[in-house]
Amino acid sequence: MIIDKNTLVFRKATTEDIPDLIKFKILLLDELNEDDNQKDVEKLKTELEKFFKEYIESENFVSWLAEYEGEIIATSGLILWRVPPRYDCLHGRYGYISNMYTIPKARRNGISTELIKKLIEEAKKMNLDILNLHATKDGINTYRKLGFKDPIDPEIELNLNDYP
């Protein structure tokens, strides 16, 4: 699909966009095959609705959307979080980029790049120190072109649902 960039609209999401934010998050998760256990999809939708409502209203989540011909074709998200300050992060204010998803037919039109740039500008306005994200193989080069670098220390995690 070739996008006429003159008619492409970028706008911030509101609580009215929560159903679309949920839809796009599930599309992303399904595409990544994050969890083959989709029996909990209704529970996931309920939890996503709670999350988006709480975080949008508290201004701890910012999302930019791309619309084309009246249809949302891409989403983005910036979650705010804080840690104790350190030398390279004097305010301790981080942003975590998530919910980056463009419908397959609209990809390769620079939409995700534009959405990331909008999130970076939001992060600057909010006086954040560092942005983090988990990149897919398809998206990592886009992020690197915008200045994202591999972390010095690898991130590891413990899933407490699997912990005895």
Predicted local confidence at residue 145, as pLDDT: 94
Strand partners, 75: 65, 101
Q: Is residue 26 over pLDDT 80? A: yes
The amino acid that residue 59 corresponds to is E
- Residue 44: exposed, middle, or buried by beta-carbon count in 10 A (0-12, 13-18, 19+)? middle
Predicted local confidence at residue 40, as pLDDT: 84
Apex 24 CA angle, 23 and 28, nearest 5: 120
Rounded average pLDDT over 63-73: 96
Residue 34: pLDDT band by 50, 70, 90 thresholds? Answer: low
Cα 110 to Cα 92: distance, rounded to the nearest angstrom? 31
Give the H or E element holding residue 117.
helix 111-125
* Pairing mode, strands 61-62 and 9-12: unpaired
Phi, psi of 45 (to 5 degrees): -60, -40
- In the chain, what are the domains? 9-145 (3.40.630.30)
Q: pLDDT tens digits for 108-122?
A: 999 999 999 999 999
